[in-house]
């Protein structure tokens, strides 16, 4: 997670961030739309929503556009990415409180819903457990939580296949060859990606109920569960 923080404090990475996820994550805008719809099944019109990994502000803006009554607490360790989030949310800034740090810096809540998108693949297992536990403890009982991140088979052959497919997708989406290859190498060497089975089990182990898969695209998976 610390290496990810260094990356997202790099001015060059921050400057190009808003172009990255929409290009490299299949169905990126649909992921946001699905997450908002699932949270809204149980979150009230005036919900208070916790967003972990809120730097950049893309999901904050998507949710705020769709739900004019929701207010948000966004948490991220990168001050540079939080500055970008302020610009991204624009007119919704009065409904967004941003907190620099990790999950423990988040207000105690209780929150009506929580979301963590494209963040947990940066976290080693122990940090994921801690984050999931801390999120659940900040939610009303029965409140929804949505998580989506890289998650694909981890046996050697399947892992190599999905890394190759992700590289090919990046190239098809317009990434230069050297950028796509570097992305593959970083995922392979640095990111502590889990298998979908491990990810789902972890959610259940940390107290989330009725866990279900709602999103699967390339190397990414998304789940909803309830506190």
Q: pLDDT averaged over the chain?
A: 93
Domain 2-158+194-226 indexed as CATH 3.40.50.150: yes
Q: Is the pLDDT of residue 167 over 90?
A: yes
Collapse the DSSP code of 13 into the 3-class scheme (helix H, G, I; strand E, B; otherwise coil) and give the result.
Answer: helix
Q: Is the pLDDT of residue 193 over 80?
A: yes
Structural element, H or E, at residue 148: strand 144-150
Instruction: Provide the residue ranges of all domains of the chain, joining segments of one domain with +.
Output: 2-158+194-226
Average pLDDT over residues 201-208: 98
| Nearest-angstrom CA–CA distance, 207 and 202 | 9
Average pLDDT over residues 145-171: 97
Question: Under 8 Å CB-to-CB from 224, ≥6 apart: which residues?
Answer: 38, 144, 145, 146, 211, 212, 214
pLDDT for 19 equals 72
Tokens standing for residue 162: 């999905």
Residue 115: CA count within 13 A, CB half-sphere: 30
Q: Which residue has the tokens 């963040």?
A: 119
Q: Is the pLDDT of residue 98 over 70?
A: yes
Q: Hey, which residues does 215 pair with through a beta bridge?
A: 222
């Amino acid at each position: 997670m610390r290496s990810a923080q260094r990356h997202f404090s790099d001015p060059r990475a921050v400057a190009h961030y808003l172009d990255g996820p929409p290009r490299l994550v299949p169905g990126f805008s649909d992921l946001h739309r699905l997450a908002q719809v699932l949270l809204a099944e149980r979150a009230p019109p005036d919900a208070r929503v916790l967003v972990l990994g809120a730097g950049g502000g893309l999901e904050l803006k998507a949710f705020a556009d769709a739900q004019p009554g929701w207010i948000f607490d966004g948490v991220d360790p990168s001050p540079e990415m939080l500055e970008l989030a302020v610009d991204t949310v624009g007119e919704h800034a009065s409904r967004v409180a941003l907190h620099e740090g990790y999950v423990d810096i988040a207000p105690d809540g209780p929150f009506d819903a929580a979301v963590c998108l494209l963040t947990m693949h940066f976290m080693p297992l122990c940090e994921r457990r801690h984050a999931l536990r801390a999120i659940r403890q900040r939610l009303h009982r029965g409140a929804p939580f949505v998580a989506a991140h890289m998650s694909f088979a981890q046996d050697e052959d399947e892992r190599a296949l999905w890394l190759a497919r992700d590289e090919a997708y990046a190239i098809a989406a317009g990434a230069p060859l050297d950028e796509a290859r570097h992305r593959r190498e970083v995922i392979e060497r640095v990111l502590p990606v889990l298998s979908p089975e491990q990810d789902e089990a972890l959610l259940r182990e940390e107290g989330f109920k009725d866990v279900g898969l709602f999103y699967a695209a390339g190397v990414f998976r998304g789940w909803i569960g309830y506190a």
